[in-house]
Structure 1
Amino acid sequence: MFTVGMVLFAVIDIIGSIPIVLDLRKKVGHIQSEKASLVAGLLMIAFLFLGKEILNLIGIDVNSFAVAGSFILFFLALEMILGISLYKDDAPESASVVPLAFPLIAGAGTMTSLLSLRAEYETINIIVAIIINIIFVYVVLKSSGKIEKVLGSQGINVIRKIFGVILLAIAVKLFAANIQSLFS
């Protein structure tokens, strides 16, 4: 359970997403922490049980999904590292489901990781790890204002760059691990 929890913690990377959360908060004024956490948790648990079947139903294999997820992570990392904005929502009312719950918390990288973990670990361990991670995500989302005050703008910028590079590395690893399977 600890291993699964740590893998999900690294892929969800809510600590590295703090700068994105703070930017969203500035844009929309309010983040619905409860709704974002609940939706992300439900998406992950649903995908744990139905993900492979859903992908097969629409004719997408897990490797293609993983490669697509690596592109999303790649672009999120570029936003963090370069300080640019690729995701634009013309009239955001709140930042709960999109882009927080999906694709930031329960994105393609997380979903792909869940499918991989299901092949190696007991389902109950994965579910408990999801719940623990979602509780942590909720706490971080709820206290994002306090975190911003403690770290300050320079601290946020440093975290954004460091976790942007880590997210970029995860994207490259996810891409490299799955691209070979598409051509074999």
Structure 2
Amino acid sequence: MPSGVPSVEDFISALVVFLVVVDPIGLVPIYLGLTRGFDSRRKRTIALRGPLISFAIIVFFAYLGELVLSALSIGMPAFRIAGGALLFWIAFEMLFQRRAERKERTADDARTEEEAHDLAVFPLAIPLIAGPGAITSTLLLMDRYGATLGGQGMVLGAAAVAVGSVMALLVVADLVNKLLGRTVIHTVSRVLGIVLAALAAQTIIEGITAVYPPH
């Protein structure tokens, strides 16, 4: 586990993980579909509140997630292996465009069945932003860097930048969608899926070597 002050490379690595699993660009067309029919003021409220609530969820799991695992008698090596497998599945979905389709179905269900609920909480904050991938990544990164206050701040700082980028893109979602189009957005998501697959494989390797150290 890294000790001392985290390096810039550590921050970039954590930031890449959060950007990939949150997928800010990929959320733009989903958000537009989710808020179709709302006026601009309501859209802006949802775009601001959703990311803020999702960041609060990430902070909660950053500090209390390990207590939950301990209560369930789950060790971090096992969680690394399971978490890596989950991230690998998310990467698979991103590569073959199944993740976007699933998220769009979640948004459509919310529009028809949960219309009276605050869309900023469900489904935008959770599970679209602070979903299983983001929560798993938070726990894994806190396990790797969270031994010091500097490491904890680095992980939460990376999460804040990723969530902040979501907020910024959603506020100008109409312009982003017009400039890039769905084809470019989906292409970026697939490229990020390749990166996430490699990160997931590395996480699984770390979990296995923690149980069976190389000689």
Category of TM-score, reference length = shorter chain: 0.7 to 0.9
Where does 1:5-16 land on structure 2 (aligned, <5 Å)?
5-13=11-19
TM-score normalised by length of structure 2:
0.68
**Does the CA contact (< 8 Å) of 2:21 and 2:133 recur in 1?**
no
User: Which residue pairs with 1:164 in the alignment?
Assistant: 193
1:86, 1:75 → 2: CA distance?
13
Q: Could you tell me how far apart the structure 2 residues matched to 1:170 and 1:11 are?
A: 8
Amino acid at match of 2:125: V
Q: Could you tell which deviates more after superposition, 140-149 or 53-62?
A: 140-149
Q: Give the drift of 1:67.
A: 2.4
Structure 1 residue 52: deviation in Å? 1.9
For residue 141 of structure 2, what is the amino acid of its counterpart?
S
Q: Which residue of 1 aligns with 2:126?
A: 98
Within 5 A, what are the aligned runs for 1:24-173? 24-25=30-31, 28-29=34-35, 32-84=46-98, 85=101, 89=106, 91-93=109-111, 94=119, 95-103=123-131, 106-119=134-147, 122=150, 123-173=152-202
Quick check: which has more Rg, 1 or 2?
2
C-alpha separation in 2, matches of 1:78 and 1:45: 27
Q: CA deviation at 1:155?
A: 1.6
Distance 1:143 1:171, change over 3 A: farther
**Could you tell me how far 1:108 is from its partner in structure 2?**
0.5
What one-letter code is carried by the residue in structure 2 that aligns with 1:107? Answer: I
Give the match's secondary structure for 1:92: helix
> Deviation of residue 183 (structure 1)?
5.5
- Structure 1 residue 171: Cα displacement: 1.5
Deviates more, 1:80-89 or 1:168-177: 80-89
The whole-number CA distance in structure 2 between the counterparts of 1:120 and 1:82 is: 38
CA RMSD of aligned residues (A): 3.1
Q: What is aligned with 2:28?
A: 22
- Deviation of 1:18 after TM superposition, in Å, equals 3.8
Give the drift of 1:167. Answer: 1.5
Rate the CA distance shift 1:138–1:119 in 2: closer, same or farther, 3 A: same
- Residues 91 and 183 of structure 1: CA distance in aligned 2, closer, same or farther (over 3 Å): farther
Deviation at 1:10, TM superposition (A): 0.7
Post-superposition offset of 1:143: 2.8
Matches of 2:81 and 2:172, distance apart in 1 = 33
User: How many residues are aligned here?
Assistant: 184
**Residues 55 and 15 from structure 1, CA distance in 2 versus in 1: closer, same or farther, beyond 3 angstroms?**
closer
Stretches of structure 1 lacking an aligned partner (at least 5 in a row): none
